[in-house]
Copies of this chain bind each other. A is one copy, B any other.
Amino acid sequence: MSAPMPPSSLGLRTLELLQGLPPQRLDEISRQCLWRRFEPGQLLIAREHDDRDLHLIVAGAVRVTSYAPGGRETSFRDLQAGMSFGELSALDGRPRSADVIGLRSGLIASLPPAAFRALLQQEWTVTERVLLRLTDLARSLIDRVLDLSTLSVQQRVCLELLRLAQAAGVDGNQARIEPAPKHADLAHLVSSYREQVTRELSALAKAGVVARQDGALVVRDLERLKHIANREVAH
């Protein structure tokens, strides 16, 4: 933990959630926040902590990691300066669903839940952004539930490889994904385990659909990959 910083509204101007608020209001929010510098690897939110603040990333970047009840890490996402996190607990007072650690050193301003709720009550533009973030979150989770309910791990791996191939640039029926994605990262992206992803990639390699080449993953038969990704789940 670092020493508290003197409040400053300058940093809050870059926050997406607070865009367009008048300077006096930013000053006021600034004074309500606890300001902390953080370093890479520093734990900012832990599931067992009882803080319910809304956290504003003024500088640096953080990683949010979700865990299953058994303790297994299930997914993560990285957030940059200007973004915020912790809305759910700040709104409903229930425990955190994730851990957050520093990724690149920076500065965080933490707004207590009562101050956050008062802000929402007074500033419709902020409320509107929070409402839209929550609908976005709900819609992406609904999509994920649908994917998980209706697609096999094999299909999810193939769909993710197709996305990576599109991003890397397709050349006819081939694509070169460089560097090759780590199996653990692919597992996070498709909500599965590293071991299952390794198994699916081996099967795809054996079938000649993908191949490893000098640290890259080459898709050798994009059409076949699409076919596997889109076929009806066997049952």
In the complex, A87→B134 CA distance in Å?
11
User: Which residue of B66, B131, B232 contacts A130 across the interface (Cβ within 8 Å)?
Assistant: B131
Main SS class of interface, A: helix
Instruction: Tell yes or no: A32 within 8 A of B by CB.
Output: no
A137 CA to B92 CA in the complex, in Å? Answer: 12
Q: How large is the interface on A (under 10, 10 to 19, 20 to 34, 35 or more residues)?
A: 35 or more
> Footprint of B on A, CB under 8 Å?
66, 68-70, 72, 74-75, 87-88, 91-92, 94, 97, 117, 120-121, 124, 127-128, 130-132, 134-139, 141-142, 144-146, 148-150, 191-193, 195-196, 232-233, 235
7 closest Cβ pairs, A-B complex: A141-B141, A148-B148, A134-B134, A149-B191, A68-B150, A92-B135, A68-B146
Known contacts A145-B145, A193-B233, then 20 further A-B pairs from the complex at CB < 8 Å, ordered by chain A residue:
A66-B146, A69-B150, A74-B150, A92-B136, A92-B139, A117-B128, A120-B127, A127-B127, A130-B131, A131-B131, A131-B134, A134-B135, A137-B138, A138-B138, A141-B142, A145-B148, A148-B149, A148-B191, A149-B191, A196-B235
Q: With contacts A92-B135, A127-B127, A131-B131 known, is A72 near B145, CB below 8 A? A: no
Q: In angstroms, how far is the closest chain B Cβ from the Cβ of A92?
A: 4
Q: In the complex, what's the smallest C-beta–C-beta distance from A161 to chain B, in angstroms?
A: 19
Please, could you name 8 A-B residue pairs with CB atoms under 8 Å apart, sorted by A?
A72-B150, A74-B150, A88-B139, A92-B135, A120-B127, A145-B145, A145-B191, A148-B149
